[in-house]
Structure 1
Amino acid sequence: MESHDAGPGRFGRLLTVGEVATRSGVAVSTLHFYETKGLIESIRSSGNQRRYAREVLRRVAIIKVAQRVGIPLSEIQAALSTLPQGRTPTATDWKALSEKWKDDLDARIRHLQDLRDHLDGCIGCGCLSIETCPLRNPWDMLSKQGPGPRLLDP
C-alpha cells in the first residue's frame, strides 16, 4: 500500500473504508480481509487511513456474486488479478470471469443433483436398507476403498 495524499488527484475522489462498506453492503472487517487476500487494494492518506478508488465498489460486487455461487476466494483472487488495476471492471470483464467459472459450477450442480437424487436410498458407504444396498454395494465391496461415504462422493 502506497502513501498518497487522499485528495482527488489521478484517482478521482477517493472513498473511505466506511463509505465503501456502506455502499457495498459489506463490513469494514470484510474489506480489510479482502485487502489482505489481494482481492482489493487501497492507498494510504497522509494520515495513514485507507482510501479506495471508486472502482473497488465493482470489484467488491464481483467478489460477493462469485462467493454466492461458491467460487473459492483463491479463484476469485486469481481471476481479479487478470483485470487491469485502476479502472472499473466492465460487463466484458465480468463475462470473461464468469465463463472461466461456468464449467466448475455446472459440475457442482450435477454433483448436487446426483446427491439429491440418491440421498434417500443410501448414505453411500453401507446399507440402510436390505432391499437397496445389496444392489448398490453388494457384499460391502466399497468398504475396501476405506471408511466413509463412497457412492455419493466423486
Structure 2
Amino acid sequence: MKNRGLTIGQIGERTGLATSAIRYYEEEGLVHPFRTDAGQRRFDRSDIRRLSFVMIAQNLGFTIAQIREVLRGLPEGRTPSKADWARISKRFRRDLDQRITQMEALRDKLDGCIGCGCLSMKACALYNPADGIRRKGTGPRYLMGDSPD
C-alpha cells in the first residue's frame, strides 16, 4: 500500500471526508496526490493527518487561505514531525488567544453597553455618553477591544 499510495476512497474512509471535499482540498492546494501510470489519484499516508488538520482548523474558524499558508511549511511526502506541528500550533496559538479574549469580552459585556452607538439603553448614557466611542470607528467598539476612556 505504501508504494502505490491510498485511493481517494481510502482517504475518505480514514478522515470521514466526502471524496468531493478531498478533491476540493486538492484544488485549493492543501494536499498534493500523485497519479499512477493509469492516471489514478493516490495519496500519501501523511495526507490523512493533513486533511484531519484542515478539518480541525476550519472548525476553529481559520480560512482555507490561512490553512494553506501554514501547510506550505510542512514537508511533502512524509508525515509531519512533532516539531513541524509545534511550529504550526505556535502560529495559530496567537490568533486563538486573541479570539478567546474577544469571546470572553463578548460573554462578559453582551448584556451591557457594547459601544455600538445606539444609545438605546439607559446604561449607555453612563458607558458611552453622547456616543463618544464613535470617534474610534463603527461597530461594537468595546467588544472589538476599544476602551471607554
Paired residues of 1:118 and 1:152 also in contact (CA < 8 A):
yes
What CA distance in whole angstroms lies between the structure 2 residues aligned with 1:50 and 1:17?
7
Which residue in 2 is equivalent to 1:129?
121
Q: Where does 1:1-154 land on structure 2 (aligned, <5 Å)?
A: 12-125=3-116, 126-130=118-122, 132-144=123-135, 148-154=139-145
Offset at 1:86? 0.6
Offset at 1:123? 4.7
What CA distance in whole angstroms lies between the structure 2 residues aligned with 1:75 and 1:83?
14
What CA distance in whole angstroms lies between the structure 2 residues aligned with 1:124 and 1:33?
40
Give the aligned length: 144
Larger relative contact order (C-alpha < 8 A, sep ≥ 6)?
Answer: 1
Paired AA for residue 120 in structure 2:
L
Given the two structures, how large is their TM-score scaled by the length of structure 1? Answer: 0.82
Calculate percent identity across the aligned residue pairs.
40
Paired residues of 1:39 and 1:80 also in contact (CA < 8 A):
yes
Paired residues of 1:34 and 1:40 also in contact (CA < 8 A):
yes
Paired AA for residue 127 in structure 1:
L
**Aligned-residue RMSD, C-alpha:** 1.9
Structure 2, unmatched stretches of 5+, are none
Offset at 1:65? 2.1
Paired AA for residue 106 in structure 1:
D
Offset at 1:81? 0.9
